[in-house]
């Protein structure tokens, strides 16, 4: 059966490629933080558990950013920006700004 999804045929923009590279870097940082958390959690040092909790918090924060940078979440905003740019004809037009809410 043929795939009718148009998004599978289009090539990513420079912005989309940049965001995906940055997202991959954050995934790597998340992995390092998670490993650090596991090592510190079972370390013998006096403050190791405190440091483990700090590494875990940093890992959770990075994970939240990774989720927000997911292409599925960003795609509607990117498409709106493209539409806005193609509709901009100059002149003396006054338009309401588009507001994007990320939850």
Reported as a single tens digit per residue, the pLDDT across 2-33 is 555 555 567 778 888 899 999 999 999 999 99
Whether residue 47 is contained in a domain is answered as yes
Residue 22 counted as domain residue: yes
CA distance 84 to 66: 26
Answer whether residue 92 is part of any domain.
no
Q: Is residue 51 part of a domain?
A: yes
Residue 39: predicted pLDDT: 94
- Asked whether the beta carbons of 30 and 63 are under 8 A apart, the reply is yes
Within a domain: residue 60? yes
Question: Which of residues 25 and 91 earns the better pLDDT score?
Answer: 25
In a domain, 34, yes or no: yes
Evaluate whether residue 102 is within a structural domain. Answer: no
Q: Which positions ≥6 away from 65 have C-beta within 8 Å?
A: 26
Q: How many domains does the chain have?
A: 1
Instruction: Classify each residue of 4-29 as buried b or exposed e, where b means 16 or more C-beta atoms within 10 Å of its C-beta.
Output: eeeeeeeeeeeeeeebeeebeeeeeb
pTM of the model as a whole: 0.67
């Amino acid at each position: 059966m043929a795939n009718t999804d148009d998004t599978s045929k289009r090539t990513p923009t420079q912005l989309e490629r940049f965001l995906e590279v940055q997202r991959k870097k954050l995934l790597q940082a998340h992995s390092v933080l998670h490993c650090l958390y596991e090592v510190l959690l079972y370390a013998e040092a006096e403050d190791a558990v405190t440091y483990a909790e700090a590494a875990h918090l940093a890992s959770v924060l990075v994970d939240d950013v990774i989720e927000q940078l997911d292409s599925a979440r960003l795609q509607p905003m990117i498409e709106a920006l493209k539409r806005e740019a193609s509709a901009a004809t100059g002149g003396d037009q006054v338009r309401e700004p588009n507001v994007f809410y990320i939850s």
